[in-house]
Structure 1
């Protein structure tokens, strides 16, 4: 159970992970409890692994286990809204975009205890001799325009959710994780642990299981046989083909502040060490605007190499929003100016592609022979988006794991950039989806469906020189829930190439959530006659993210990276452009203000602040984390702010930002906040970014 700093219906997640070969079944339980007096409609958005499929869904309401159904989206929404209007408990799960879902539970009354149980099927990835699993648990604020039905979701400094997990891994040893683990039985591959919902669960382990796999399952009366294969190219086809031509595209938007930017800079410095003098490279940083180091790629040698290293060391998350489309268009132009080449994108991927402009651009890149390789940075990076962009152009993606040697991870990606472009060739079946490219050092999946599958599969891998290496796979037939998982994973891939009408029929046949279908459940009994208040459940801040406005940013790199958008002279302070995640006004609705009662410590702290109001100036000058605790500030929040303080954030800034968040998320007026704000405005070296934040989120004139 979690000890939340505010009253949130979400209590915790629980996970039981089972693996069979390269298939993973994640049994996730999300537990909610409503302790308030009035009925609510809770809304919670959550991520799932890239290419994963929701296999089974059940709901337990006050110890009663219920099952719903997948319907066409408009029918599911109508059924949910009718149940909501009639005072019945109603539940709706919608796919907002690939790997991103919205749960709505309406007419939740006082004392309701609700658990959403999901079985999620996904594929493990084999890389560098280890099997890898990643379960995202936290979302960041996404830049751009969300789909109209997706309610604004935010992150709160006060959110604190528990995460319990049990891992039952087939033939696994030498397990590494980014969260606490204890082995239950030394003779079995079973582990357990507890953490928080502030970062993905990342696991890697060794196993005797070979990466070259072909999993199959027999057909049913109305579903043909299905198969998923993993291809792992032999090393003799993967020798480097020469020099790389690379446009290095780095996200410097505000959401990259903190751990993501630190990871990006460290990773890029490691990557530079793997470049040869014959490699051609250029650097483009982007946010609301784009800034290129040069108009084309240059050999990584001499003065340019020094300039590039200095530019990477000077990178800051100070360019506002995440205008990725504009940045990719510039990188595309620079690549063509350099005679072709590839783009290596480093980003947290926290943006919407609701207008499909990025999808259209990747088609252009592929036709021009420009591959896009992506590196996901930070704990809330959007793996589905980054993987989709890379795969569409024949590139590859990497979710950077700071708990595994980053130099090794990036070395492999650089080698893939240099290696010849490899193609998988298989005989045609009734339906199959082959990868646009395969790479050394990691597995790539292909999907097939036919009335009958052969006992073994033969194919080839080819390189640009026309060399063909024969490949063979032996059929491994699955049964039970793993066979069902395989069918649904294949069907999900079929949805991507089907027409809207065909996709809806296929999703309904397999009971899949998709852009055309949703899951709905409505109980029969009426539980309330009152109108439910909508409560959007905020996520925790991602571990290592920075929830405040950026610290002072000096244009010290103006001599290195010039831009018509960079108007400040060296040494002059630049205002931050990105609104801090947990202070963004679009994550705070009138409904959520009424539904988030403040904890008891707030009243005590405000009383203590009021007593100090006549001496507010002195109080802020002397403010420290110990003072906050003595005032009644929760110790776990003080520790969080202390970590931010170590990153050079002024304590008064942090403290006032917390008070702003409290006032914005509640219906009460924070005592003497105006006086505190006015005092902060008098602190010359701090006032600009703080006041700009207040103005941007509409809390101050």
Structure 2
């Protein structure tokens, strides 16, 4: 398959049969030392016949700081500003209502951000430009640049557990294709490194003292873009920059530790064998496990567990690494498959933490002796889960160091890095075409490294704030620490620790002075991340985020393109969620492993083979354990018609070609149903509860932004007689039933806000229905109606009977 041009990509279809909105992405970056600055340009085009609101949830690397938002619309270039989240959302919605085009970028979850582009008119194009910076690390002679481009399907509920809003989505579609172009410039000493690219075919060119890396033939948003910079010697740096009346300092240390300890490694191996690990990922896991056995000595102790929907301890308890154990392990590894269903990582980790010592190991430690180090867990996974906070907390309090290896073309780096950081372990990612043996060697070097205690950092003066110091140091791995000082430092900060009862230290050779705003923003970003763990610091974190223009859980980036009066967008925009490309090789869908004989840095994989395989073995994302049958467009269309036939037809307009059938004298049952002028009769059933009304309205509003649609659906419910009377009274006052229902629904949404949150599409629809009404009149009506509704909801309770109809909480656990 040749690279898809922008014109061709505009005709790619979403699952709803509508042309894709995201056209392509260009990424341009520069690495100077360990500071990586990136600019991502997302190109959008409305190829439909209605106004659109494009919503694209995209990943950023772990530890990245989002710096800015710019946009190009209708020949105008605009710059965004950071506002408090509620105010930014109100400004965004106000622009939608007024027919202008707002753009808002918000933090959705760990490592995920969402770009919202409202009121893009038919035929219009827009470019959203996002800037971010990231501090990279030396990792025992190597620097890894990872640019995530897609999000693999994750186990669990993206909204309940992952924190995504109703309008946000990272759903994958095997039909989606988004062209990608990448250009990264390496400057200074890093330009002298040996550069490999295990993810893409790249071209390299030298310009004076820099090295420019670009994609050879373009790519797609279906895998991480990875560069490995090898042959580098770790160095320590220190930089200072004015920060208002004080100073911001960044210290990057690369310590050297004594020779490795000879103490036994107590290693619990836990391998993800869920459906998402099929294909390349589980193959990489097996290779890694075989390399693990090469690193074990006869004094080490291991256990082996696999997990998916459940955990299976196949080598339970820590066993001695003798010949019999290694042979048993080899057989277990050879039989390891991605056949355990879902990804219950938290339960698997807790169960693995609880594995005890075997009798032989207990005998090594008498009652007066304890091992001088904690047990270690080697976790091999793609990290594709939504319930990440529970996993991070379990790791933090486990008493185990977690050494995580992320496998696949798009592993969830933010989860794996955080789990490793919080437990005092380490994390490395392995691309399908990367040599996993080197990764295992580095991991065991860390596991066997000398334990460090009494880690301290001398900034030369009292600090206003500083980073939390680590409990563990690893030789050759960079450690970034920040501080805010009242006075300008005179000397570089010094890191000290004790190893093997010997005091050691490291410091940067000099203190580099900077005068840009970037360093203070990076330092404050670290401070906010640290303070955010304390809910009592919300006020301070918000003030810092606004002052330094940083996107956090409390702030958004926003800009508004104010249109001329005759160019205002009319009506409500149709929501267009941008589907992700399915991560290459995910769940065994195709393969991105290179053919034998191809270069490590230049994968010779045939992209058309991958896409063909992907499109003919699309997995069931909900089960994550087995593929579904590929259905052709004809069968998809037939399925949609069948769905129309079996559903409530009030939701659909009658297509023009079905209104008259001159060539078909005997209409089919479906056509008869569509042409029937009689309304569909619905059995009364139980009396609708307040939550039922809101749920029904929300469901209808997601399908069509037409007032009469939700009115017909609500009035088909079995409504309490008193509510019907109230609606009739409001209809007389306001003139239409839609306005009467809008007042009722707005009040109910406010009254039950602790149980249900309407999507912003639903809220817009209610505002549009009531936009011509006087605000004071609406408030008066709501207040008057509220007393009557409260009386209705409490009537049965007053009579001493539990309210089954209008209680304030439904028997069902509803989340919209």
Q: Is the 8 A contact 2:82 2:557 kept in 1?
A: yes
Tell me, what secondary structure is at the counterpart of 1:641?
A: helix
Cross-structure match for 2:248: 226
- Distance in 2 between the 1:648 and 1:46 partners? 21
Are residues 1:129 and 2:141 paired?
yes
- CA change 1:647–1:461 in 2 (3 A) is farther
Cross-structure match for 1:623: none
- Distance in 1 between the 2:296 and 2:618 partners? 31
Are residues 1:324 and 2:345 paired?
yes
Cross-structure match for 1:37: 49
Cα offset for 1:515? 1.1
Cross-structure match for 1:609: none
Cross-structure match for 1:147: 163
Cα offset for 1:118? 1.4
Give the CA RMSD over aligned residues.
3.1
**TM-score, length-scaled by structure 1:** 0.76
- CA change 1:57–1:411 in 2 (3 A) is same
Which of 88, 92, 98 is 1:80 aligned to? Answer: 92
- Distance in 1 between the 2:132 and 2:415 partners? 19
Cross-structure match for 1:527: 568
Cross-structure match for 1:605: none
- CA change 1:161–1:529 in 2 (3 A) is same
Tell me, what secondary structure is at the counterpart of 1:430?
A: strand
Which of 151, 158, 183 is 1:166 aligned to? Answer: 183
- Distance in 2 between the 1:240 and 1:644 partners? 50
Cα offset for 1:398? 1.0
Tell me, what secondary structure is at the counterpart of 1:456?
A: coil
Are residues 1:384 and 2:408 paired?
no
- CA change 1:12–1:415 in 2 (3 A) is same
Cα offset for 1:248? 0.6
The structure with more radius of gyration: 2
Cα offset for 1:381? 1.0
Alignment of structure 1 residues 71-110 onto 2, 5 Å? 71-110=83-122
- Distance in 1 between the 2:637 and 2:149 partners? 25
Are residues 1:250 and 2:261 paired?
no
Are residues 1:483 and 2:519 paired?
yes
Cα offset for 1:453? 4.1
Cross-structure match for 2:457: 426
- Distance in 2 between the 1:122 and 1:153 partners? 23
Cross-structure match for 1:204: 228
- Distance in 2 between the 1:431 and 1:317 partners? 46
Tell me, what secondary structure is at the counterpart of 2:249?
A: strand
Cα offset for 1:403? 3.9
- CA change 1:21–1:146 in 2 (3 A) is same
Q: Is the 8 A contact 1:227 1:490 kept in 2?
A: no
- CA change 1:664–1:22 in 2 (3 A) is farther
Alignment of structure 1 residues 335-346 onto 2, 5 Å? 341-346=375-380
Tell me, what secondary structure is at the counterpart of 1:416?
A: helix
Q: Could you give the per-residue CA deviations for residues 185-205 of structure 1, whole angstroms, max 9, x where no partner exists? A: 454422322322111111122
- CA change 1:662–1:463 in 2 (3 A) is farther
- Distance in 2 between the 1:644 and 1:76 partners? 40
- Distance in 2 between the 1:510 and 1:666 partners? 52
Cross-structure match for 2:598: none
- Distance in 2 between the 1:513 and 1:20 partners? 24
Q: Could you give the per-residue CA deviations for residues 97-121 of structure 1, whole angstroms, max 9, x where no partner exists? A: 2211112212111122111111110
Q: Could you give the per-residue CA deviations for residues 162-206 of structure 1, whole angstroms, max 9, x where no partner exists? A: 111222111313221132222344544223223221111111225
Cross-structure match for 1:300: 321
Cross-structure match for 1:675: none
Tell me, what secondary structure is at the counterpart of 1:503?
A: helix
Alignment of structure 1 residues 549-698 onto 2, 5 Å? 640-642=611-613, 656-659=629-632, 663=636
Q: Could you give the per-residue CA deviations for residues 527-570 of structure 1, whole angstroms, max 9, x where no partner exists? A: 322222211111112122247699xxxxxxxxxxxxxxxxxxxx
- CA change 1:646–1:105 in 2 (3 A) is closer
Tell me, what secondary structure is at the counterpart of 2:132?
A: strand
Tell me, what secondary structure is at the counterpart of 2:103?
A: strand
Tell me, what secondary structure is at the counterpart of 1:42?
A: strand
Alignment of structure 1 residues 400-419 onto 2, 5 Å? 400-419=430-449
Are residues 1:352 and 2:382 paired?
no
Cross-structure match for 1:587: none
Note the residue ranges of structure 1 that are not aligned, 5 or more in a row.
551-634, 671-701
- Distance in 1 between the 2:451 and 2:638 partners? 52
Tell me, what secondary structure is at the counterpart of 2:553?
A: coil
Cross-structure match for 2:754: none
Cα offset for 1:68? 2.4
Which of 195, 202, 207 is 2:219 aligned to? Answer: 195
**Higher RCO (CA < 8 A, seq sep 6+):** 1
- CA change 1:9–1:233 in 2 (3 A) is same
Cross-structure match for 1:315: 336
- CA change 1:285–1:200 in 2 (3 A) is same
- Distance in 2 between the 1:517 and 1:330 partners? 38
Q: Which moved more, 1:227-236 or 1:407-416?
A: 227-236
Q: Is the 8 A contact 2:251 2:493 kept in 1?
A: no
**TM-score, length-scaled by structure 2:** 0.66
Cα offset for 1:326? 0.3
Q: Could you give the per-residue CA deviations for residues 346-387 of structure 1, whole angstroms, max 9, x where no partner exists? A: 111111236x3223323321xx3x111211111221111111
Are residues 1:441 and 2:441 paired?
no
- Distance in 1 between the 2:638 and 2:392 partners? 36
Q: Which moved more, 1:467-476 or 1:400-409?
A: 400-409
Q: Is the 8 A contact 1:420 1:463 kept in 2?
A: no
Note the residue ranges of structure 2 that are not aligned, 5 or more in a row.
14-18, 363-373, 592-605, 621-625, 644-816
- Distance in 1 between the 2:149 and 2:308 partners? 25
Cα offset for 1:85? 3.1
Tell me, what secondary structure is at the counterpart of 2:131?
A: strand
